[in-house]
Amino acid sequence: MAQDPFSNQAPIKGVKKIIAIGSGKGGVGKSTVSSNLAMALAEKDYKVGLLDADIYGPSLPSIFGCFNQRPEVNKEDKIIPISRYGIKLMSMGFLVEEDQPVVWRGPMLFKAMDQFLRDVEWGELDYLLVDLPPGTGDIVLTLAQKAPIDQSIVVTTPQTLSLSEVKKAIMMFKQIGVPTKVIVQNMSGMMVNGERIDLFPTGPINNIKESYGIPNLVEVPFDPKIGMSAEAGIPYFKSLKENTPAKDTYKDLANLIG
Ligand SMILES: Nc1ncnc2c1ncn2[C@@H]1O[C@H](COP(=O)(O)OP(=O)(O)O)[C@@H](O)[C@H]1O
Ligand SMILES: [Mg+2]
């Protein structure tokens, strides 16, 4: 019999729950959702770590305004994550220069994911959020083989193309035994003068939710301040004092998870 590919899974010491954030397409808002969910969970007093598993296109260092930082190593040779706003962060972006491409293939990726999980001093965490690269490739499968992912959140925009790709992400998680707890439809309309307008022709998100048996749907509106705060290096959730429709949806998401 073939060896069970998930037999190498081992819990990460001190980490209670691992949540993966994935999508079919790139640029749909995974890193934005991951960062703001991390902040919303931290506001609820959970201890949160955020692992940027997008090895080829790390974006958490810039969202959190810390891409020049280099993590230190402790006496036990463990990498100390960078702390920002109470969140413990780890990303390939802390290990390579900003303009250097990562040109690794299979085995090195495998090793890097392993190190991010095991050789980082995550400490005690209620949640380790893993911001995945788009699609259903090597990194996601490696991660699933290395660590027990408790649940996933999939992110899509309302366009038909993104929706059809997100089905693949849901199916991939299903195949590796990870339940998808929430589907996030990002950039889901925008409020203009108190009225909601659609930015894109919208597809059948509710049908997907029903037919794939996803228990929750969260719709995050488009808000120009989200992009601006990412450029400024402060997660949107943290940059605002007031509540906004988008901020409320991140809180809803945190309530569904935590
Ligand atoms: N709800 C939103 N409103 C406005 N801009 C957004 C929203 N969500 C994401 N963005 C912007 O869209 C771009 C892509 O988001 P990102 O989170 O990097 O996507 P991914 O990680 O899926 O590639 C970024 O510039 C981000 O600031
Ligand atoms: Mg990303």
Expressed as residue numbers, the domain containing 218 is 15-253
CATH of the domain at 36: 3.40.50.300
Q: Return the C-alpha torsion angle 97, 85, 254, 12, nearest 10.
A: 60
Tens-digit pLDDT string for the chain (258 aa): 455 666 667 889 999 999 999 999 999 999 999 999 999 999 999 999 999 999 888 999 999 999 889 999 999 999 999 999 999 999 999 987 777 777 667 777 778 888 899 999 999 999 999 999 998 888 888 888 888 999 999 999 999 889 999 999 999 999 999 999 999 999 999 988 888 899 888 888 999 999 999 999 999 999 999 999 999 999 999 999 999 999 999 999 999 998
Q: Which residue lies with its CA nearest to atom 3 of ligand 1?
A: 222
User: Has residue 183 been placed in a domain?
Assistant: yes
Please count the structural domains in the chain.
1
The DSSP H or E segment spanning 229 is helix 224-232
Whether residue 36 contacts residue 235, with contact meaning beta carbons closer than 8 Å, is answered with yes
- Closest ligand 1 atom to the C-alpha of 26? 23
- Closest ligand 1 atom to the C-alpha of 246? 1
The per-residue b/e assignment along 188-215, b for 16 or more CB within 10 angstroms, e otherwise, is bbbeeeeeeeeeeeebebeebbeebebe
Pick the closest to residue 153 from 229, 254, 237, 238 (CA basis).
254
User: Has residue 5 been placed in a domain?
Assistant: no
Record the pTM: 0.94
Any idea what the Cα angle at residue 19 is, between residues 15 and 24, rounded to 5°? 150
User: Has residue 82 been placed in a domain?
Assistant: yes
Residues with CB under 5 A from ligand 2 (ion): 30-31, 54, 59
User: Has residue 6 been placed in a domain?
Assistant: no
User: Has residue 168 been placed in a domain?
Assistant: yes
